[in-house]
Structure 1
Amino acid sequence: MGFQDAVATCFRKYADFTGRARRSEYWWFFLFNLLMQIATGLVDAVLFGAEGQGLINLLYGLGVLLPGIAVGARRLHDIDRSGWWLLLIFVPLVGFILLLVWFIRPGDAGPNRFGPDPRTDRGRA
């Protein structure tokens, strides 16, 4: 899955917490959000000055919060874990490291309890 396909899929599945997401889908969407946060931060700095109010950055962040959580849950489903494991992010350091390891890990081969393998099914269920 390429950059454009991943971003389009994440926005098409805006609040879809079912199914599985490949590593490429998650990480391309992560990169897209990182670049957009930098861009909206720069726009805020130009419009509002050095102390900036961050309004555009905030609005963008709110707009992608739900699809970001959804793709994270689908990514965890790909390694046969519940999306509720995303709450580990609130455990200082350990939660971040564990989630990072899980997000980097390859998905389960073949179907699991969350659906068919997105590598063979191409995610079009």
Structure 2
Amino acid sequence: MPDSSNLTWLFFKTSGRVSRAAYFLGGLLVAIIQAFPLYRFTLVPEGSAESNMWSFIFFIAFIASLWSNIALAVKRLHDLDKPGIAALILFVPVVSIVAFLVLCLFPGQPGPNRYGRRTNEPAQP
């Protein structure tokens, strides 16, 4: 079973590096978590109390997933030995699709770099 501190690091911290697989699978999990309340919202009558509840849950999931996507992208960029600020390109329509594909397909830098000694772990001080 994964250590909760590792999951906290993966989805909410920006230090260290992640591999292509960890980036893609982490992003997929975030998308599923975001999609579930949206799906539930579509199944209930519009304007009902249940509709309001699911829309609120979706809003919370969206905010949390937004940060998680940024944190994952920053760590993926670190693995490519690029600055994390470049993750802002994920907010540019159309360009974000290309950026996502680059982050999923291009291999990271082998060996240590300025952002960490190894992939898939936080940077050591």
Q: TM-score range by the shorter chain?
A: 0.7 to 0.9
Q: Which residue identity does 2:118 align to in structure 1?
A: D
Q: What is the root-mean-square deviation in Å for CA atoms of aligned residues?
A: 2.7
Same amino acid, percent of matched pairs: 26
Task: Give the ranges of 4+ consecutive aligned residues of structure 1 lying more than 3 Å apart after TM superposition.
Answer: 7-10, 12-15, 50-53
Partners of 1:28 and 1:40 lie apart in 2 by: 20
TM-score (norm: length of structure 1): 0.74
Residue in structure 2 matching 1:123, options 113, 121, 124: 121
Q: Deviation of residue 89 (structure 1)?
A: 2.5
Larger RCO (CA under 8 A, 6+ residues apart):
2
Q: Which residue identity does 1:42 align to in structure 2?
A: Y
Structure 1 gap ranges (5+): none
Change (3 A) 1:85 1:71: same
Q: Could you report, residue by residue, the CA deviation over 1:9-55 in whole angstroms, capped at 9, with x for unpaired residues?
A: 343445321111111221111111222222111222234x2575522
Partners of 2:107 and 2:6 lie apart in 1 by: 19
Structure 2 gap ranges (5+): none
TM-score (norm: length of structure 2): 0.74
1:32 alignment counterpart: 29
